[in-house]
Each structure stands twice: as structure tokens, then as C-alpha cells.
Structure 1
Amino acid sequence: MQQGSQGSQGSPLLDRDRWEQLKPIILELYHHQKLTLPKVITIMRDEHRFFHVIEANSRLSTSENTYKYYFNIWGVPKNIPTFVKDATVVALGKRIRGRQSTPDVAYIYKEGQSMPVDRKKIKRQIHDVVSRRANDERGMPLGKNVFIHWNLPYRAARSASRMDSISPFGPTPDFLSIGSPNASRGMSSRHSPSPHTAPTPTMLALRGMKQDEWTSLFIQVKHDLLMKQMARSERKVLITYLYQFWLFSFYTAKYWGFGPTHWTSDILQFDRFRDTDRVHNSSPDTPMTGMGTPLNYSTPRSDNAKIGDTTSSKPSMLCRWVIHVANHSRYEGEGDDSDDEGPDAVLGAEGSDEYRPWPRTHNQTFEQKLQAALETGNFSTVACEDLPVAASRIAKAARTSPMELLQESFAFSLVARNEKLFWNILEKVSRVTFDDSGVYPLHLLTSFLDGSKTCCNLLDGAMNNLCGRTRIEKIYVNDHGHTVLDNLFIAVLKGHTSCQPDTVDDKFAKMRRFTGEEVDICGRWDADSSCVRELFADGNSAIPIEWKHMFCHTSIQTICHCIGRLFGPIFAPKVNTPSGLFLKTCEACGMRLQMAPLHSLVLTACHLAQSGCPGENLFGMLAMLVCLLANGADPLLKAPISLEALMRKDTATECSHEYIDAIELAERVPASLILGWTEEASLGWNVFCAMLRFARDERRPPPKPSKGKGRVSEDPYQMFMEPMEEEYLYDGGSSDDGDDEEDEMGGEEDTDEEPCQHHKFNTNNFYGRSKVIGTMWAVIQTELLTYRRLSENDPWLSENFDMRSVLDGLNNGGLVPIKLVEEDMMSPFCVCGRFLDVVDEACACVGEVCSHYFANVDVWERSSYIMIPENHNGSWYW
């Protein structure tokens, strides 16, 4: 019988060399042309005469088993493995933008050898993935803090990140080869594609699968991973939508009870403040993961500025402020829910028009407002069908997660600082706990402080209403390890220096802005201000240093009042809780170098002097120091400090840390650094250090008195104390850290005296043993309550407070010659510095601290009168 051109008669297999020679043709037919094995055998026999005689019926053929035998030798898989199909679906899901058809995919099962992955198998695998995911994610609840962080438009959000460029495609597995078919560019979902450009069924399935995946990531608050998976165009659409929802929520919260009952995209003027997406040198796919400071501080510009205005608006350099009053003579922001015109109207956006109160018939809650906006999407210029995530699923998750939506609503009420809405929602959230919720209300409040409208009132309400069900320790330290006091230190650097976030914490190295920069503590701009919206639209993510001014009286008063609110109650956190700022680790021994609060205050003062605004005199740091001392901060506490680590010069060769107290840290600030400061800053630094040194030395254990020496017969400050309360004017014996530390803190001094009337036996946050510190605290309170800089030519301090005189007095035993004291300008105050006969010792009013009225703060167009919170503080100091 005749045999094939290769092979020997009677051999079960054709010659192996012949198989190897024809291998590429066989695999091309079988894998790439997807022919069945019988068809391949027929073609090889007819066109390539590849066969041998099967003697049983004299048929010219080669059996399927023979082919399968060689397929096995060649390592050709029978089927595409499941892991390959899964990887194919994942890889294709990263390449859906702009594509209308599925690219060719090949499985590289061996070096130089591959087999195509059939599109039908891909489609089946997609349906399997979607089905499994639907079962796993059925009823997925809304994650925590899903919306509150999206406070920047796209370009500003991009500039807020220092993250390296990451391709949204990611690496393709080595065992896959994916082709690159022509993409249909410029296709919009709003235009009907032609039959020739319509997406294939597989591509539609891929898009649906990827949208579900991204929606799940968003709902689960895996936002960093979500941003990394998206292309630039997808990120821009989603971030724009989320920022618009954030701004809608902010406007709704800020003007709750007044103005429009629903803020639409037209009212919010998104077209006017649209993102000016200009060309950048950086990669178009740089993801947004943090929020921080732009590399330059150029004056912001906008393509949408008003006609005739060549630059965007810039805020005034003059502050606004609050005036606390004991009676409800004028309380901005609190209406009577009526339609009457009058003092209950509030200024509208931009302060141009007045918004009138809502009608009584309006009964929709804030949470319902947010839910309705998610359902309809009419707050945004982005259509829901254009989103890379499923808006309907997000709305459903919010609808089935009322507690998460309530906490999100509460967060917006804190950011917007509307007292009416705040108290409305506070009544609901006070019945739940914030333990492990990811929400830190006290930190959020102190990140968006407003000394021009609310001052410390919201913090007072939160402290009194949230700390019953939630232990204060649970919300006093956040997930960064920062205390609420730390957040007040950050507020100083954020509002009055050019410092960037990694100044206070190395974990913030990828951030270029601090949280809450869009709200100025002294009321000169807000998140809805034109200047801020134009700044963000132009791609800047942080407030430029040119907008800021020195640590002013409005800011100082707000922060000092917050310190009093924070550490005044009997349930308050410990004032000496270790700080989470400027935290380092010893490179040699691995020790955690954590500071006490006063150490962090020293470094905050140093950065304010180094990077502060023109005119900075550090009066604010002196005020914070004295306020903290009066509230029990311990100047004797030592902490492990490494100057080398703080200056990022630490090495692993030997330990460089030492245990030092706060004044010892201040004394180690390099003289070369101080020489570069202004005269005002240098003087302020010397006063700050002198006050801290005096406090430390005064609280050291006193030497045993020599025999024959009597006590000082006359107190230079006694004439300013209340004569009827003499027995309470000197604190005798209780240490802020308890009886066990009385010897260390000087507890043996004057143990025969009664403590002052403000001393609290059930809290450690008090110190009233120093007449010098007490007098300084009374003087500082009076200065803050009675003086404001009314024009840009006015001094930052009044003529009643002279820093040079304070320094001379502290260096000469603490007898400070201050005009307010010498001319009897203050009302009687206690040895601890708290004024007598006041409604609220933590927040005295102007009329309560002055012996006669000499304040200049009653400027109606720049001040707001707010009522002292009632029924909260009366028992704090008893």
C-alpha cells in the first residue's frame, strides 16, 4: 500500500520530524482558525498529504488520538484553564474605555506558543463573574464616610496628590497577550452609535461588569483602589460628580432653613465655576488619593471671572469675629421658622442677597434631602448614565443604610456649621455610639472652625451630647493617632503658615493640603466663596499663603475657647494625653518618640515663627500656652526627643534621643534658625519661652524654707482679686496629676489654704496655684475680648498689652507691668485666672471682664453676636 510522504509502513505514528515540521500549520488551524479536529485532519491529509495507511480498511488517514498524542507532547492544553479566563476578564475590564469591540486575547501556554481565547468563552466567563458578585454583594450597605471627603473638583484633587503616575491598565499577566484594536474616540453615550461602531455584546458585558465592580469599590470606601483602576477621563467624570454632590450637601447644610429648598446645578453655578482642565506636563493618569497644597502659590485666575475682572476675587485681609453674649440679643443662624422678614434672614451665597426662612410646611429632613439628590442626580451637570459607577446602586445602598447616611449627614452639619441643623441632627446621633464608626466628630469640628459665626458653641454641644454614650477616649484620638488638641495645633499651622501636612506627621507625606483649608477660621472665606471655588477650578488645592495673615485675635480666641470647652467638663479627656504630632522613631533602638502636649506646642510655635505670615508676633502661642497651663497642662513632663530625628538627620548608628521637658526642647531650637526670624517673632519667642520656663520652675518642688523667714506680706495682684472671696484666691495642695504626685508638683506648698472656688476635685485638668499664670490668663482673655484690628494699618495688639513689658516682668520674678492690671481695667478674677460672676467661666463675655467698657469690637458689619450655651457649663467648675 502507498504511504505518506514521510513515515515508514506499519508505523503507528508518522515520522516525528514530519510532525514537528508541520506543527505550526496544525496549531494555526486548530487554535487560531478554531477548526474542529476532524476538519484539521482532513485539511492536513488533502492539502499536505499528511497521513498513513490504516490497514483495516485501507483508508488514508491519521487518527484523532495520534493528534491528541502530539498535542500532549507539545503541551497544548485541551481547554482554556479557569484562571486564564478569570485573568482575561480582569485584563479586558481595564481596557474598556473607548473600545467598541473585544480585542484578541491569546493564552501563552508555553514560550513561543499560544492559543486564542474564544470570545464566547469570555462572555460566558463575564456572566459567571457578574452572577457570583451579585450573590456576594446582595444588599451591600453604604460604607462609612463615603461622601464627606470629596471636597475638591478634579484638577484641584489631582494637584492634591504627590502620588507617582500609575497606569490604570496595570500589568498584564505574562501568560496573556492582548491585541490593540482601533478605538472609537470621541464616542459619547448620549450619541447613538451606528451599526458599524456599536459595541459588541461582549464589550457591553465587560462594561457592565466593570461598572458593577467599581460601584462596589466606591460603596465599600475603597476609593484609592478605585482611582487607580480608572483612566483619567473616568476619574474626572466621577470626581466632578462627587464634588458637586459634596458642594450640594454643603450648601444645603449651611443654608438649612433658609433660601432655596433644593439646590440645583443651575443655582449652584457649576457652569460658572467649571473645572478649567488645562494641559499639564504630568501624566494624564495620575490618580487622586490625598488632599493637600499646590506646588506654587500663584494668584488664582479663572476663565469665568466676572467681566472686567482680570483676576479671581481675593478675600479681605480683615477678620470677622463673634461676640459672646449671655442674653439672646442677636443670634445669627437661628430663625423662628416663620415667613416674616427681619433679623431672622441670613446672608445668601457671596453675602449679596438675603435668604428668607423656609415655610413652616417644609418637613423634609436633611438625610432625606441627600437621599433624594442621589436618586435624581439633578444637583449635578453630570448625567447618571455617563458615570463610570452605577448611581442607582449607590442610591440604593444609601437607602438601605440609614445609620451610615445619618452619620454622613451629621458630618456635613459639622463642616457647614449651621447651628440649627447641627442641633437637629445631634438629637438623633446622640442616641448612637461613634465607637469604631470611622467618624471623629470632635476632629471634624476642629478642622472646620469658624470664629466668625459659631466659635466654640458646636464643640460645646458635641462634648455635652456625644460623650454620654461614647466614651470621650474613643473619639479624642483619631485613626492618625492625633488628639483633638493636636487638631487645634494643626489649625494654627493650617490657617497662618505656609507649612505643609508632612510638617506635623510623616504619614501625610503624600498630602499637599490640610483638611478644612476651604474654611477660614476668622471668616474671610468659606467653601462656597467665589474666591475659593475659582481657586479650586483653576487647579489649586490649597489656600495660597498670600491669602493668610498672622495668628489673629479671632483665631486665638476661638482656639482658646475650644481648649476650655474640651478640658472643662468633669468627663473631659486628660489634658496631658500624649500628642500624636511630630512623632518619630529612633533609628537605632526603634523607640517611639512621642511628645507631651506642651512639647508639640513648642514645635508649633517654632513653625509659626519660621513659616508664619508678615507681622507674626507669637502672641497667639503665648495665649495658648497660658490657657493650657490654666487647664492643667504639666510643664514638668519629660518626653523622649531627638532633634536629629525631628530634622530628619537621625541615623541607625546610635540613639540620639533624650528625655527633656518642654522648655528644654525650646532651648534646643538652633540659634541659627532664630536669627532668621523677624524682630516681632523673636520677641514673641522669648516671651513664650520665659512664660514656659516660669511655669516649669514655679511647679518644681520648692526648697525647704529657711527658719526666720516669713511669707511675703503683700501680693502685688491682690488688689484685683475679689475681696469677699479671699479664702479661695490661692489654690493649696491638689496636683493636676493626683495626690501621689503632690511632692513632685509642689503639693506641700500652702496646704493649709483652701483651694480656689473653681478647683475641680474630680478632674485633673486644672491648675490654680500660680497668681502670675492666673493674672496672665485674665489679661489675655481681656485682650482677646476687647480688641480687633479694624484696618490694615492698625496694630495686631492693642496698646493695653505690650510683649516687651511681659518679657521683662517674667525675667524679673513674674511681676508683669501690664496696663490692664496697673490701671484697674479688669473685673475681679480668681487666682486661677477665671473671672468671677460670669455666666460661663470657659467663655467670658466682654462686659464680664471689663471694669468699664473700652472695647472696639462692636462693628456690626463684621461681627456676629452669639449666645453662650445654656445649661451646660454651670457645674463644670464646682
Structure 2
Amino acid sequence: MASQAPPGPVHNPQIGSIPHDQRWPLLKDTIIHLFMEENLTIPQLAAKMKQDHGFDAQPTHYRYRFKQWGVRKRMVKKEKDEIIMRHAKRAREAASTSSLAIVHGEFAKEMTETRKKQLKRYIGDQIRHKPEPDLASGIFMRWSLPYAAVLSNAGIPLDHPSPFGQAGASPGFIIDSPHSAESPLSPPTAASPTTRMIQGKAKLDRADLFIEGRHKELLARLSPDDRRLTVSWLHDLWMFSFMTVKYWGRGPETWTQDLIAAKSLSQSPPTPGAILPSVAFPSSTIPDESIQAPSQLCRWTIHYMQPVSYDRIKSPSPPPRQEGQVQDIEDETTWATWNEQAGLRSPPGAIQGALSTNSFSAIESQSLPMAVSSITLALERSEEELHAESFAMAIIARNHKCINDLLEEPKFSTAEGAAALRTLYPLHLSVAHLDGAKTCCLIIDTLAVSLQDEVSISANYRNDLGHIVLDSLMITILRSHTSVTPATVSEGFESQSRFPGEEVDICGRWDADTPCVRQLYASGRVTIPFSWKHVFCHTSAQAVCHSITAIFSLPWSLDVNTRSGLFVKSCGGCRQKLELGPLHTLVLEETLFGAIACLTCLLAHNADPTTPSEISIPALFSPPDEANECSHRLLTPLELAKEITIQVVNDLPSPARLGWSLFVEILGFAQLGILWAAVQTEVATYRRLEEGDNWVSDHFDMQALVNGLQDGEPSIRAPLYNKKMMNNFSDCGWFGGRIAYAEFICSTYFMKWGIGIEHALLHSP
């Protein structure tokens, strides 16, 4: 961009009659042109202006005016940084710096050879004296979604020109390419030395942004293609880390891109070209109807204490792998356990090694717009952060043995290790990825017992969103079994389209590496379809109740009646903050058996059904702009349940109304020992075998229980108790321990154990 043609010499005799200070604005364009484009020195400029224009001013006066106008020949730091960022973002790799100009209003500074030398000196100094950034917490855990789903989660269309906003505030000038610059359609040429230095500096800067956790700013600095490339590579790394930790100790020792694609996509890995389609179109053309939905039948976790003899459906655990033994990647029963030498490796080392070899992705690390070498060096400097992130990934992948092994390492015994782990909120993470099909309550129980001091459950009971651990458990229920949106549940989720942990099903029907989930996210969908979900089932209820027991049965457990961080509202009139108790929160969630199981479990752990909270019914059930009057009042959980009955329950189908009636009756009833014992027995002994089967067994007759509670005689209306199907239990409904083991609670054999349903056995010594 060039400034306007300079005016010629001024021969106006009247200029001498204008006061000296008022001549500067009149001659500004001429002065700037001579100084910037004719490249005169200030003494030469002063002499020429006096000779040609009759304007007499000292060099110091020119320097003062140039400072006022923001005119300088040398580039300042802000201009150099902007050139590096803007030029590195240009689409053509070989774009020349000669085509750039720094535009200040009506004048421009071209990229002369002198300025290029200044820029190269600046870049060299910056690289030599660059401070090493500290590794932020959880930088690899955030990339569980592919690019199309990342945009969808942020509510941004794929063809948005700048989906993550601008990289920073406007600097007061622009970097432009004059019209005389090389056409974008010109044949590519080799990058100039200056361009190569800029690209290298930009890669280092972007790597620093990633290391520091400033990911939104990083994505804003990238071109559309580079942005897609970066997110795809980071998602590849997340999938590698997840599958490595999930299957740690058996199967493949190293998950390459081919193995990851074969296991999680049932196909060959994509090529780099396939990963970078035009940004104007979705990243995948997979229609929703072509994605096979998972089965509606749950899997089953069975706790036992003594060795159990039964007919196995699945093969026994495979023996250690022999030399040359063939394993079928799609058949886990053929996978062998690792030999002793392979077992000496660690998940943190595997993740760090993968970054060095890039074996997990079809995208070459050299083609990324950030310096991967800087990331690997940051990991070497911050071993505690890498260890904490590996531990968090083991929680997400629900590998109980791997979690125990990592807990044995000395990293967490240091102050740095504890601090790194605390910021990841491992207890909240575990209930957000609750797995009722394989690990049930084992992980939350291990964490609650093993994590001490700074990372104990008491020190980390409430996370950075204001949610307590019990809230995170309730969020898992809502996410898994309802269609409620994140923003409805918590203000902390207002900017999100999905709940934490949606890629893991609590019933074991899908996981982050299940083909249907990967295909769903690749299509741009970010939430699990409601058609994939089902009612609050026995597998889910068992995992939730056992987790509640793990949290609240320890000597150092917190008060179960701690105020919730969910469904927090403000009164439309007086703006008072309205917080719920745990039972109020449960009232606002589900119906039928699952919520009844949770209610009796919470009551068994001393949740107080008589504690009132300030609640506004209009604020709960009306849009914020419609609840403008001060309408809150003290309500107990039972009173809230009765209000909801009036508001919405009468419109529910008959089975839901029945479940709700039982829920309300339980809130108002004190003798709950029989009910709690019956709930534990029901979840330990019954699962559906076919999709048409009832969700609740005939042994837990909810209509009979409602009638019994209304009559004040629950014992004669509970078939499990009336028919003497349960062994002895305490007045509070406990069978002698925290977990109700099937072999101890049943007086006779009536459970559907080993009858054609996939299950996992969890041994408790």
C-alpha cells in the first residue's frame, strides 16, 4: 500500500502569515512522504522543507512531531510481533515478506532490506532469550473431540471465517500486502530466509501457547487448514493416550495409527489429505442414520467376596504372550498379557515416547504449525504434570490396576506432584466417567481412600465450577438418562453443548474408542443422541449407590447434606442466591427405580429429608426473564416433590407417575431399612436379558410398595422381604458391609447370573 503522491513545492506567499504551529497539519503529508518514502534523514528533511516550502523548523521539532504522529522508520516490538503472527498465518508457505507493509493510517512502511535485517535480528534475539514456559494442567486431556465436534461444542459453524475470535486486541496498525504483490495463483517459490525464520519463530510461539494452556488463543492464530490440522493431531494424541492406558498390560504394547483405526473405527487409518477437506464443508459426510446405535441392553458388574463357581460365557484371562503369537485386534479374547520386560514401561513414558516418534498419527509432526520439540522438552521439565495427566487419563479409561500402579510411584508424594494432581480434580473426574459395567465403584473407592492431604476428598470436594463430588455424580445420571441440557443444570456449563464424560456410557454400552461414538463425533455431532439412552437402569443405579457409599462411609467423609452447586438460581425479585440440598437436587432429576434407589441410599447415609432450602418454583421452571417477582420460600425435599407433582408430574405416562408416587412416599417415611435392603438386593440380582423385558423385576413391585407406604405397612408389601428372599439385615438396611454381595444377601438363588448376559466379576477381599 502506497501513500498519496506528494505535493509539490509550496510557493504560496501567504503561508508565512500562518502561525508556525498551525503549519504542521497542513504540511504533514509532505513531511511524512519525504521522511518515509524519500528516506531523507531528519536534518536533510529540515533543510528541504525550508528550501522548497519556506518552512523553518529545527530537527528536534521534527522528532517531537513524529512521536506525536506515531511515525518512525524503525520497527518497534509490537510491529515485529504482528508481522510474525500475520505472515506465519498466510495460506501460502512461500509468501514473501517483501509483499508486506506496515500501514499507519495514510502512510505505509514497506519491508525494505534494512527492515528485514531488523526483523531477523529481533527473531534471533527472541529465540536465544526465550523463557521456557511452565506446563499447564491437563493440556492433553481437552482434545477428546475431533475438529467438527470441537466447533459444534462451541456453537460455531464449520465455515465460520474466524471461529475462535481474534488473536488479540487491535494494535493500531495493520499488516497489508500491496496490490503489486505476487498473485496467490502464482507458481510457488522457495521460502526466503526471512520467511523461514518467521515460520520457525511462529511455531515456537504457538507451542508456548499450547504448553501454557492458552488453547483458544492458539487456534485463533492459525489459518483454517492449520487449525483443522492441529486439532486433528491433538485428537489423535488423545485417542492414543486413552487406548494406551485403557488396555495397559495386555494386547498391543504400542498403539500405532493403524491399530487405533482398526480397533476404534474398524477401518484403515485416514491419510493426511483425508483429514483436511475444505473448511467450507463438514469433516465427515457420515449421516446419522448410517451410524449403528448401541444395544439397549446393559452390561453387569457383580461384586463377590468368596471364590464363585459358575459357567463362564467369556474365555478366561489369556496367558502371557508367547513369541510370534498372533492377536486379533478386534477380538480382545485373543489378546495376551504383556511379558515382564514390557511391564516395566510406564504410561507417562509411553505418551512421551509417542510424541517423539509420532507413530499415533498420519499427520507428520513437521507439518504442524507448532513446534512439537518444544512440547516434548516441556514434558521433560514437568514430569509431575505428565504423571498427573497420565493418572487422570487412567481414570477416564477406568483402568483400575493402572491407577493403583501409578499411585505407588513417588511423584505424588512431592508437593509439586500433589499440586499437579489437585488441579485435575480426580474424584470429580472418576464419577464423570463412572463405569457400571466393569469397575463400578472401585475407582472412586480407591481414590477416596488413597488420596490424602492436599488431594484428599475433603480438600477437593468442590471443584472450580462450584460442584461438589455428589453433584458430579448427579450430572452423570442426568447426562446418561435424560435430555436435559448442560446450561439448565449449571451456570458453569452455559458455554458448553455437552456434559463431561459423554463419550463413556455408565452401562458399558459405548466408550470413547467405540466405532459408533467415533463416527458420531466425526460427523459433527457433539452430544449422544437421546435415542441411544435409556431409563435410569439397575447397572447405573448400582454404580451410583455404591459410589455414594464409597464417598460417605469413610471416617473422614464430609457431610452428605453439603449444599449443591446444581440448579443454582437467583430470585427474580430480590436476587438472592437459591441453593439446593442433595435431596432437593435428586427431586429435580429422574423417576422410576433409579432415583428411588439413590434416594434410599442417600437417606441410609443420613441425608436429612427435613432440611429446607430457599427455593423459587418459577425460577426453576420458567425462563429467567419470566421470573421477575420475589417468589422463593423455604421448602423441604418432600414439599418440593409435591410442588413438582402439581407442576409437571401429572402429565407424565403412568409408569413414571407410579415411580414418582413411590419417590414422594419414601421422602415422607421414616422406617427405610427394609426398602434400602430391597433396593440393594434388586440391583445385585436383576438385569434385562431382552430389550422387551421389564426394567424392574417382579420381586420389587413398586405399586405394592406405594400402597404399603400409604398404609404405613411397607414390610408386607415388599415381595423380596415378604417372600423371605433376603438374608438378615440391620434395622438400617445394611447386610453387614458397605457392599451387598450377592452370595450373602440372597436366601435362595434367584439372580440372573451367567444367563447369556455379559458381566464383570469384581473381587473384594
User: In which range does the TM-score fall when normalised by the shorter chain?
Assistant: 0.7 to 0.9
In structure 2, the residue matched to 1:748 is none
Please show how residues 252-291 of structure 1 align to structure 2 within 5 Å.
252-269=244-261, 272=268, 274=270
Residues in 1 aligned to 2:20 and 2:407: alpha-carbon distance in whole angstroms? 86
Please give the secondary structure, in 2, of the residue aligned with 1:150. Answer: coil
Residue number among 573, 577, 587 corresponding to 2:562 in the alignment: 577
In structure 1, the residue matched to 2:198 is 206
In structure 2, the residue matched to 1:674 is 649
Please give the secondary structure, in 2, of the residue aligned with 1:475. Answer: coil
The residue identity in structure 1 corresponding to 2:373 is S
The residue identity in structure 2 corresponding to 1:159 is S
Residues in 2 aligned to 1:360 and 1:843: alpha-carbon distance in whole angstroms? 34
1:242 is displaced (CA, Å) by 1.0
Please give the secondary structure, in 1, of the residue aligned with 2:141. Answer: coil
Residue number among 712, 733, 745 corresponding to 1:849 in the alignment: 745
Is the Cα–Cα contact under 8 Å of residues 419 and 458 in structure 1 kept in the other structure? Answer: yes
In structure 2, the residue matched to 1:708 is none
Q: After the TM superposition, which of the residue ranges 672-681 and 543-552 deviates more from structure 2?
A: 672-681
Please give the secondary structure, in 2, of the residue aligned with 1:514. Answer: coil
The residue identity in structure 1 corresponding to 2:508 is G
Residue number among 21, 31, 41 corresponding to 2:36 in the alignment: 31
In structure 1, the residue matched to 2:86 is 94
In structure 2, the residue matched to 1:219 is 211
Residues in 2 aligned to 1:155 and 1:527: alpha-carbon distance in whole angstroms? 16
Would you say 1:865 and 2:761 are equivalent positions? yes
The residue identity in structure 2 corresponding to 1:160 is N
Would you say 1:473 and 2:461 are equivalent positions? no
Residues in 1 aligned to 2:565 and 2:53: alpha-carbon distance in whole angstroms? 80
Is the Cα–Cα contact under 8 Å of residues 430 and 466 in structure 1 kept in the other structure? Answer: no
Cα deviations across residues 148-176 of structure 1 (Å, max 9, x unaligned)? 12111111111111269454466644444
Segments of structure 1 that go 5 or more residues without pairing to the other structure are 53-61, 188-193, 285-299, 610-617, 699-771, 871-878
1:635/1:128 CA distance change after superposition, 3 Å: same
Would you say 1:370 and 2:351 are equivalent positions? yes
Please show how residues 790-809 of structure 1 align to structure 2 within 5 Å.
790-809=689-708
Q: After the TM superposition, which of the residue ranges 565-574 and 345-354 deviates more from structure 2?
A: 345-354
Residues in 2 aligned to 1:209 and 1:594: alpha-carbon distance in whole angstroms? 50
Residues in 2 aligned to 1:266 and 1:503: alpha-carbon distance in whole angstroms? 41
1:116 is displaced (CA, Å) by 5.3
1:273/1:375 CA distance change after superposition, 3 Å: closer
Would you say 1:400 and 2:381 are equivalent positions? yes
Please show how residues 331-350 of structure 1 align to structure 2 within 5 Å.
338-339=320-321, 350=330
1:773 is displaced (CA, Å) by 0.5
Residues in 1 aligned to 2:185 and 2:235: alpha-carbon distance in whole angstroms? 24
Residues in 2 aligned to 1:17 and 1:855: alpha-carbon distance in whole angstroms? 98
Is the Cα–Cα contact under 8 Å of residues 321 and 337 in structure 2 kept in the other structure? Answer: yes
Is the Cα–Cα contact under 8 Å of residues 498 and 527 in structure 2 kept in the other structure? Answer: yes
Please give the secondary structure, in 2, of the residue aligned with 1:502. Answer: helix
Q: Normalised by the size of structure 1, how large is the TM-score? A: 0.75
Would you say 1:442 and 2:417 are equivalent positions? no
Superposed CA RMSD: 3.9
Cα deviations across residues 247-270 of structure 1 (Å, max 9, x unaligned)? 111111111111111111121127
1:472 is displaced (CA, Å) by 2.3
Would you say 1:635 and 2:609 are equivalent positions? yes
1:280 is displaced (CA, Å) by 7.9
Would you say 1:124 and 2:24 are equivalent positions? no
1:811 is displaced (CA, Å) by 1.0
Residue number among 135, 139, 144 corresponding to 1:151 in the alignment: 144
Residues in 2 aligned to 1:382 and 1:266: alpha-carbon distance in whole angstroms? 13
In structure 2, the residue matched to 1:745 is none
Is the Cα–Cα contact under 8 Å of residues 95 and 169 in structure 1 kept in the other structure? Answer: no
Residue number among 799, 822, 828 corresponding to 2:722 in the alignment: 822
Residues in 2 aligned to 1:42 and 1:333: alpha-carbon distance in whole angstroms? 96
Please show how residues 369-768 of structure 1 align to structure 2 within 5 Å.
369-428=350-409, 431-432=413-414, 434=418, 437-467=422-452, 470-605=455-590, 618-646=592-620, 647-649=622-624, 654-669=629-644, 671-694=646-669, 698=670
* Greater percentage in helix: 2
Is the Cα–Cα contact under 8 Å of residues 66 and 72 in structure 2 kept in the other structure? Answer: no
1:208 is displaced (CA, Å) by 2.7
Residues in 1 aligned to 2:506 and 2:598: alpha-carbon distance in whole angstroms? 16
Identity %: 33
Please give the secondary structure, in 2, of the residue aligned with 1:668. Answer: helix
Residues in 1 aligned to 2:741 and 2:375: alpha-carbon distance in whole angstroms? 47
Segments of structure 2 that go 5 or more residues without pairing to the other structure are 1-8, 158-162
1:454 is displaced (CA, Å) by 0.9
Residue number among 686, 698, 702 corresponding to 1:787 in the alignment: 686
In structure 1, the residue matched to 2:732 is 832
Residues in 2 aligned to 1:402 and 1:74: alpha-carbon distance in whole angstroms? 51
Residues in 2 aligned to 1:820 and 1:791: alpha-carbon distance in whole angstroms? 23
Residues in 2 aligned to 1:95 and 1:21: alpha-carbon distance in whole angstroms? 35
1:645 is displaced (CA, Å) by 2.2
Please give the secondary structure, in 1, of the residue aligned with 2:740. Answer: coil
Cα deviations across residues 287-323 of structure 1 (Å, max 9, x unaligned)? xxxxxxxxxxxxx9739x9xxxx92332111111111
1:407/1:312 CA distance change after superposition, 3 Å: same
1:215 is displaced (CA, Å) by 1.3
Residues in 2 aligned to 1:789 and 1:281: alpha-carbon distance in whole angstroms? 46
Residue number among 99, 121, 137 corresponding to 2:131 in the alignment: 137
Residues in 1 aligned to 2:484 and 2:70: alpha-carbon distance in whole angstroms? 63
1:90 is displaced (CA, Å) by 2.4
The residue identity in structure 2 corresponding to 1:93 is M
Please give the secondary structure, in 1, of the residue aligned with 2:541. Answer: helix
Would you say 1:355 and 2:335 are equivalent positions? yes
Q: After the TM superposition, which of the residue ranges 579-588 and 538-547 deviates more from structure 2?
A: 579-588
In structure 2, the residue matched to 1:812 is 711
Is the Cα–Cα contact under 8 Å of residues 456 and 562 in structure 1 kept in the other structure? Answer: yes
How many residue pairs align between the two structures?
728
1:229 is displaced (CA, Å) by 3.0
Is the Cα–Cα contact under 8 Å of residues 569 and 577 in structure 2 kept in the other structure? Answer: yes
Residue number among 101, 105, 108 corresponding to 1:105 in the alignment: 101
Residues in 2 aligned to 1:593 and 1:13: alpha-carbon distance in whole angstroms? 70
Is the Cα–Cα contact under 8 Å of residues 586 and 650 in structure 1 kept in the other structure? Answer: no
The residue identity in structure 2 corresponding to 1:217 is L
Residues in 1 aligned to 2:347 and 2:636: alpha-carbon distance in whole angstroms? 48
Is the Cα–Cα contact under 8 Å of residues 436 and 543 in structure 2 kept in the other structure? Answer: yes
Q: After the TM superposition, which of the residue ranges 775-784 and 473-482 deviates more from structure 2?
A: 473-482
Residues in 1 aligned to 2:382 and 2:315: alpha-carbon distance in whole angstroms? 30
Is the Cα–Cα contact under 8 Å of residues 786 and 846 in structure 1 kept in the other structure? Answer: yes
Is the Cα–Cα contact under 8 Å of residues 273 and 537 in structure 1 kept in the other structure? Answer: no
Residue number among 778, 790, 797 corresponding to 2:677 in the alignment: 778
Q: Normalised by the size of structure 2, how large is the TM-score? A: 0.85
Please give the secondary structure, in 2, of the residue aligned with 1:513. Answer: coil
Residues in 2 aligned to 1:266 and 1:534: alpha-carbon distance in whole angstroms? 17
Which of 1 and 2 has greater Rg? 1
1:689/1:143 CA distance change after superposition, 3 Å: same
1:93 is displaced (CA, Å) by 1.0
1:83/1:834 CA distance change after superposition, 3 Å: farther
1:408 is displaced (CA, Å) by 0.7
Residues in 2 aligned to 1:75 and 1:467: alpha-carbon distance in whole angstroms? 60
The residue identity in structure 2 corresponding to 1:327 is Q
Residues in 2 aligned to 1:826 and 1:650: alpha-carbon distance in whole angstroms? 52
Residues in 2 aligned to 1:339 and 1:426: alpha-carbon distance in whole angstroms? 26
The residue identity in structure 2 corresponding to 1:601 is L
